[in-house]
Structure 1
Amino acid sequence: MVKIKSVKVNFIMNMILTASTFIFPLITLPYITRVLSVEGVGKVNVATSIAQYFSMVAMLGVPTYGIRACAQVRDDREKLTKTVQEILLLNLLISVFVYAAYFVAIWKVPKIHNDAALYWIMSSTIIFNVIGVEWLYKGLEQYTYITVRSIIFKAIGLVLMFLFVRHQGDYVIYGAISIVATVGSNFLNFINLRKYVNLRPVGHYDLKHHFKEVMIFFAMAAATTIYTNLDNVMLGFLKNETQAGYYGTSIKIKGLLVSFVTALSTVLLPRVSYYIERGMKEEFKRVSRKALHFVVLLALPVTVYFILYSRESIFLLASKTYENSIIPMQIIMPTVLLIGLTNVLGLQIMVPIGKEKMVFYSVLAGGIADFVANMIFIPTMSAAGAALGTLIAETVVLIVQLIVLRDWIRDLFSEVQWVKACVSTAVAGVACYGVKALNLSNFIALVISVCVFGAVYAVLLLIMREPLFLEVLQDVLHGKVKRGKAEKDGE
Structure 2
Amino acid sequence: MENYFKKLGYSFAYNMANAIFPVLTLPLVFRSLSQNSYGDFVLANILYQVINSLFCVSLLQFFIRSYGEVKEQNSEIKAKLCGFFINIQTLSAIASAIIFTILIIIFYNYFKLNIEVACWFYIPIVSSVINVEWLYFSTHRYKPLFMRTIFIKSILFILVLFLIKNNNDLNLYSAIMSVSYAIVNIVGFIYLRNEFIFGRILIPDILRYLKRSKQFYFNSLIGIGYQYVDQIILSILLGKSDLAAVNILKQIGNMLLIIPNTICRFLLPIALESYKKSEGTAYHIKYDKLFVLCVFLIFLIFIIFGYSILKYFVGDLYNFEYQSIMYVAIFFIVVSASVFIDTQYSIPQYLEKITTYSNVIVLTFLLTSVYFFINKFGYLGTLMCITIAEGCGVFFMILLHLLKKYKG
CA distance in 2, matches of 1:5, 1:181: 34
Q: Does the 8 Å contact 2:14/2:149 carry over to 1?
A: yes
Q: Structure 1 residue 317 and structure 2 residue 317: aligned?
A: no
Q: Does the 8 Å contact 1:20/1:151 carry over to 2?
A: yes
Q: Structure 1 residue 32 and structure 2 residue 34: aligned?
A: no
Deviations 1:128-179 (A, max 9, x none): 3331121122112211111211221111111111122111132222222223
Q: Residue 170 of structure 1 corresponds to which residue in structure 2?
A: 169
CA distance in 2, matches of 1:57, 1:363: 14
Q: Does the 8 Å contact 1:7/1:267 carry over to 2?
A: no
Structure 2 runs not aligned, ≥5 long: none
Q: Residue 195 of structure 1 corresponds to which residue in structure 2?
A: 194
Q: Residue 96 of structure 1 corresponds to which residue in structure 2?
A: 94
Deviates more, 1:128-137 or 1:325-334: 325-334
CA distance in 1, matches of 2:203, 2:19: 44
Deviations 1:49-90 (A, max 9, x none): 111112223227211101111122123222222322222212
Residue of structure 1 aligned with 2:331, choices 302, 320, 335: 335
* Equivalent runs, 1:43-442 vs 2, <5 Å: 43-59=40-56, 61-76=58-73, 77-109=75-107, 110-111=109-110, 114-199=113-198, 206-276=205-275, 279-282=276-279, 284-324=280-320, 326-406=322-402
| Alpha-carbon distance, 1:29 to partner | 1.6
Deviates more, 1:127-136 or 1:198-207: 198-207
1:129 corresponds to which letter in structure 2?
A: S
Q: Does the 8 Å contact 1:112/1:119 carry over to 2?
A: no
CA distance in 2, matches of 1:289, 1:399: 21
| Alpha-carbon distance, 1:114 to partner | 4.5
| Alpha-carbon distance, 1:103 to partner | 1.8
CA distance in 1, matches of 2:224, 2:288: 23
Deviations 1:230-268 (A, max 9, x none): 232121112111111111111111100111122111111
CA distance in 1, matches of 2:206, 2:349: 23
CA distance in 1, matches of 2:345, 2:4: 17
Q: 1:62 to 1:366 in 2, by over 3 A?
A: same
Work out which structure has the larger RCO, using CA pairs closer than 8 Å and 6 or more positions apart in sequence.
Answer: 2
Q: Does the 8 Å contact 1:220/1:360 carry over to 2?
A: yes
Q: 1:300 to 1:211 in 2, by over 3 A?
A: same
Deviations 1:418-471 (A, max 9, x none): xxxxxxxxxxxxxxxxxxxxxxxxxxxxxxxxxxxxxxxxxxxxxxxxxxxxxx
Q: Residue 489 of structure 1 corresponds to which residue in structure 2?
A: none
Q: Residue 465 of structure 1 corresponds to which residue in structure 2?
A: none
Q: Does the 8 Å contact 2:80/2:199 carry over to 1?
A: no
In the superposition, the TM-score normalised over structure 1's length comes to 0.76
Structure 1 runs not aligned, ≥5 long: 411-491
1:274 corresponds to which letter in structure 2?
A: E
CA distance in 1, matches of 2:67, 2:394: 28
Q: 1:196 to 1:39 in 2, by over 3 A?
A: same
Secondary structure class of the residue paired with 1:323: coil
| Alpha-carbon distance, 1:105 to partner | 2.8
| Alpha-carbon distance, 1:306 to partner | 2.2
Q: Does the 8 Å contact 1:74/1:80 carry over to 2?
A: yes
CA distance in 1, matches of 2:303, 2:233: 25
Q: 1:246 to 1:205 in 2, by over 3 A?
A: same
Q: State how many pairs are aligned.
A: 404
Q: 1:238 to 1:404 in 2, by over 3 A?
A: same
CA distance in 2, matches of 1:79, 1:162: 46
Deviates more, 1:247-256 or 1:33-42: 33-42
Q: 1:193 to 1:310 in 2, by over 3 A?
A: closer
CA distance in 1, matches of 2:301, 2:203: 55
Deviates more, 1:112-121 or 1:21-30: 112-121
CA distance in 2, matches of 1:112, 1:87: 36
1:106 corresponds to which letter in structure 2?
A: I
Q: Does the 8 Å contact 2:79/2:196 carry over to 1?
A: yes
Deviates more, 1:26-35 or 1:190-199: 190-199
Q: 1:356 to 1:125 in 2, by over 3 A?
A: same
CA distance in 2, matches of 1:78, 1:264: 30
Secondary structure class of the residue paired with 2:320: helix
